[in-house]
Copies of this chain bind each other. A is one copy, B any other.
Amino acid sequence: MKIKFQPYGVIAEAEAGQTVLQAANAAGVDIEAVCGGRGTCGKCRIIAAQGLGPLTEAERRRLSPEEIAQGYRLACQALIEGDVAVVVPEESRISEVSILSTGIGDSVSLDPWLATYAVQVPEATIEDQVADMDNLVRTLAAAGAPALRPTLTAARQLPAALRADEGRVTIVAQGQRMVRIVPASTGVRVLGMAYDIGTTTVVGYLMDLQTGEQLAVASLLNPQTRYGDDVVSRIGFSRDDPQGLDTLHHDIIQAMNTIIERVTHQAKVTPADVYAVVAVGNTTMHHLLWGIDPEALARSPYVPAVTEALGVRATELGLRVYPEAEVWTLPNIAGWVGADTTGVLLATRLHTHEEPALAIDIGTNGEMALGSRERLITCSTAAGPAFEGAHLSCGMRAADGAIDVVTINHRVEYHVIGDVPARGVCGSGLVDLVAGMLQSGVIDSTGMMRDAEALRNGNGSELADRVVGEGRQRQFMLVDPESGAGGRPVLVTQRDVRELQLAKGAIRAGIQILLKELGITAADVKRVYLAGAFGNYIRPTSALAIGLIPEFPNADILPVGNAAGSGAKMALLSRAALREASAILEHVEYLELSGRPDFQEEFAEAMIFGASG
C-alpha cells in the first residue's frame, strides 16, 4: 500500500492493517499523539477521503458529526486498507515549542574534567631507545604533570603527533586518561555539552571547559513525543512494542546528535572538540537515554533500575562527539524524582540552606523539594500534563497559537504566542484563566462552572454569554470561532477545569505534606524557587489566586528558569559539583505520596480553589 502525507508530499509504503499514525511515524511525519495512540486525546486528526477502514467507536466519540462529514479521522484509529492520501492539518502537527534555556547557578568555580598539557618530547636515540609513550610519560613527569595513562585512541595518535612538530605535542587528559594527543601546531578547543532531556523538550548547551563560557544553546522537541506526551505513554510503548525501547533510546541519541551539530555549527567549532557530556532528565528519560528498560517505574513499587551516576564512553552510546568523551548523568533520587531534580538541587543548593526553602519544578511532571541542610525531602506528583496542555480539550504546549496570558477584568483579554490565531491554551494561560474565572465568579471554589443564567444575575454578567451548555458539558468560550484558528473556537470545558483542579490539588497536597513531614508551616519557608518552563512563565499572583501554592508570608519567590539544565552545566564545569550531586543523593530523602495515609485527605482539601485552599 502507498500512503501520501500532505502538505508534505511524503509518500511511503505501508502495510494493510497498520494505523495511519504508525505509518506516519515510520515515514518520519510528526503527528501529535498526546495519549500515545490510545484514541483518547483526539489530537491526531487527519483528513482522508478513502482507503481507510470503518470509523471506530473512539473516533465517533472524539469527532463531531460535521468533522466526520468533512473526512476527519483519528490517525491512531484509522486502519489502512488501500492506497491513501492523508492531509495532516495544522493543528495536528507537532510544532517547535518555546523553550527555557537559561537558569541559575552559573557561579560555579571552574574545575573541569579535562586538562591540557603542552610539552616538548626529546627525540629517542639509538643509545636511548625509549618507546614513544614512555618518552612522553617521562617528559610529562619531568614537567610536573600528574601521572596519565594512555587510551587506545591516544596511543594511535602518538607516533605521528610526536614526529610532526619536532616533538612538541598537546595532550588532552580526562582525569588520568590521556584522550587526545596532537602536534602543538594543531590548536585545541576543550568543549563540553550539558543536556536537559525533558519529556517534551531536549535542550543542549555547548560550554567551553577552559573558560566556563556558554558558547551556544539549541533545543528540539523530544522526538519520542510521537509515542505519547507523558512518560507513562512512553513506558507503555517501550513495553508493548518489541522495538520500543530501542526506538525511544535512539530517538534521544538522535536528538542529542542533532543538537550537537547545531550548537557546534553556531559556535564554529567541531563535534570532535567536545570531550565531556553531562545530562539530566527525569528517571524515565534517564533510563531511555541509557537504553535501560523503564518498565518497573510504572508499576508499584515504582523503582528505578539505577540511581547512581553512570558514565560511559560516547561511542558506546553512538553520540557523535570526540570518541573518548565520557557521558555522565546526574544520579536519580527515586522512581519519580530523577536526575533533573538532582540538577535543580545542585543549582538551588537547598541542601546547604540554613533555613527552609522550597523548590518546585513543574514540567510534564511536578517534582518538589523542601528543607535545608538539616533535612531535605523530595516528592513527586503526576500533576504535570495538565500544565503542558495534555489531557485538556483546549490544552496545548507553549507553541505558536497558544494563549499564554489571560486577564479577566469584566472583559477577557489574552495573548497568543506567535502572530497567529489562537489554537489553544498553554499552562500559564490556563492558570491565569482559571484564576480570572474564579475571581469573576464564573467558577466557584469547588470548581463548578456557574450557568449563564446565574451569572447574568450576579457580578459576572459581562461573561455570561461565554458560558454555554449544561452540567458536565458546560463550556467557557475563551476565543470565538471567528477569532480562532481554522474557524474553531477555544473552549474551556468543565472537564478541563477539573483536570487543572486535580493537578493543582496534587501539587498543593505535596507541598502541604512536605511542610507537615518537616513539622513547619509556610511561614517558616524563607525562599521559594519556581523552576522549569511552567514555573518560569506562570504568574505567582495567579498561582496564589487558585491556591496552587500557599501564601508564603516570609519568603522571596524566585523564578529560576531551567534549574535542572543549570545543574547539568555545573557538573560539566566542575568535578566538585558532580561529587556534590552524589552527596545530595546521600542527604536527600524521598517521600512516596501514595504511601502516605494522609495524602487523600490533604488532596481533597487542596482541590478547593482559592488562596486559602
* A117 at interface by CB-CB < 8 Å: no
A150/B592 in contact, CB under 8 A: no
CA distance A125 to B335 in the complex (A): 12
CB proximity of A436 to chain B, nearest CB, Å? 40
User: Which of A45-53, A299-307, A475-483, A544-552 touches B?
Assistant: A299-307
A134/B301 in contact, CB under 8 A: no
* A142 at interface by CB-CB < 8 Å: no
* A141 at interface by CB-CB < 8 Å: no
CA distance A277 to B287 in the complex (A): 31
**A303 proximity list for chain B (CB < 8 A):** 124, 129-132, 135
CB proximity of A309 to chain B, nearest CB, Å? 10
**A291 and B129 contact, Cβ closer than 8 Å, known pairs A124-B303, A134-B307, A306-B150:** no
* A537 at interface by CB-CB < 8 Å: no
B307/A133 in contact, CB under 8 A: yes
Chain A residues numbered 333-349 whose CB sits less than 8 Å from any CB in chain B: 334-335
A304/B126 in contact, CB under 8 A: no
Chain copies in complex:
2
* A269 at interface by CB-CB < 8 Å: no
**A124 proximity list for chain B (CB < 8 A):** 301, 303
A305/B131 in contact, CB under 8 A: yes
**A152 and B316 contact, Cβ closer than 8 Å, known pairs A129-B590, A132-B303, A300-B126:** yes
CA distance A125 to B152 in the complex (A): 44
B152/A304 in contact, CB under 8 A: no
* A28 at interface by CB-CB < 8 Å: no
B300/A156 in contact, CB under 8 A: no
CA distance A127 to B597 in the complex (A): 12
A595/B131 in contact, CB under 8 A: no
* A158 at interface by CB-CB < 8 Å: yes
From B129, B160, B292, B300, give the contact of A335 (CB < 8 A). B129
* A290 at interface by CB-CB < 8 Å: yes
* A155 at interface by CB-CB < 8 Å: yes
**A335 proximity list for chain B (CB < 8 A):** 129, 131
CA distance A305 to B132 in the complex (A): 5
CB proximity of A164 to chain B, nearest CB, Å? 12
* A15 at interface by CB-CB < 8 Å: no
CA distance A232 to B328 in the complex (A): 44
* A409 at interface by CB-CB < 8 Å: no
In the complex, residue of chain B having the shortest beta-carbon distance to the beta carbon of A158: B305
* A404 at interface by CB-CB < 8 Å: no
**A293 and B159 contact, Cβ closer than 8 Å, known pairs A301-B126, A305-B131, A305-B132:** yes
From B150, B151, B308, give the contact of A134 (CB < 8 A). B308
B126/A592 in contact, CB under 8 A: yes
From B125, B159, B302, give the contact of A305 (CB < 8 A). B159
**A316 proximity list for chain B (CB < 8 A):** 152, 315
**A308 proximity list for chain B (CB < 8 A):** 133-134, 150
**A156 proximity list for chain B (CB < 8 A):** 290-293
A129, A134, A304, A315: most-surrounded residue (chain B CB, <10 A): A129
CB proximity of A128 to chain B, nearest CB, Å? 8
In the complex, residue of chain B having the shortest beta-carbon distance to the beta carbon of A149: B308
* A312 at interface by CB-CB < 8 Å: yes
B132/A306 in contact, CB under 8 A: yes
From B132, B133, B292, give the contact of A155 (CB < 8 A). B292
CB proximity of A400 to chain B, nearest CB, Å? 39
CA distance A291 to B155 in the complex (A): 9
A595/B293 in contact, CB under 8 A: no
* A332 at interface by CB-CB < 8 Å: yes
Chain A residues numbered 267-321 whose CB sits less than 8 Å from any CB in chain B: 290-293, 295-296, 300-308, 310, 312, 315-316
**A600 proximity list for chain B (CB < 8 A):** none
* A594 at interface by CB-CB < 8 Å: yes
B291/A131 in contact, CB under 8 A: no
Chain A residues numbered 486-529 whose CB sits less than 8 Å from any CB in chain B: none
**A594 proximity list for chain B (CB < 8 A):** 126
CB proximity of A155 to chain B, nearest CB, Å? 5
CB proximity of A143 to chain B, nearest CB, Å? 19
CB proximity of A40 to chain B, nearest CB, Å? 28
**A595 proximity list for chain B (CB < 8 A):** 126-127
**A310 proximity list for chain B (CB < 8 A):** 150, 152, 155
A305/B155 in contact, CB under 8 A: yes
CA distance A310 to B127 in the complex (A): 26
In the complex, residue of chain B having the shortest beta-carbon distance to the beta carbon of A151: B312
In the complex, residue of chain B having the shortest beta-carbon distance to the beta carbon of A300: B126
**A152 proximity list for chain B (CB < 8 A):** 290-291, 310, 312, 316
Q: Which 6 A-B pairs have the closest CB atoms?
A: A131-B307, A126-B301, A131-B304, A124-B303, A132-B305, A133-B306
Known pairs A159-B295, A163-B296; list 12 more (Cβ under 8 Å): A129-B301, A129-B302, A129-B303, A129-B335, A131-B332, A131-B335, A133-B306, A150-B306, A150-B308, A152-B316, A158-B306, A159-B305
A-B contact pairs, 8 of them (CB 8 A): A126-B595, A129-B302, A129-B590, A150-B310, A155-B306, A156-B291, A156-B292, A315-B316
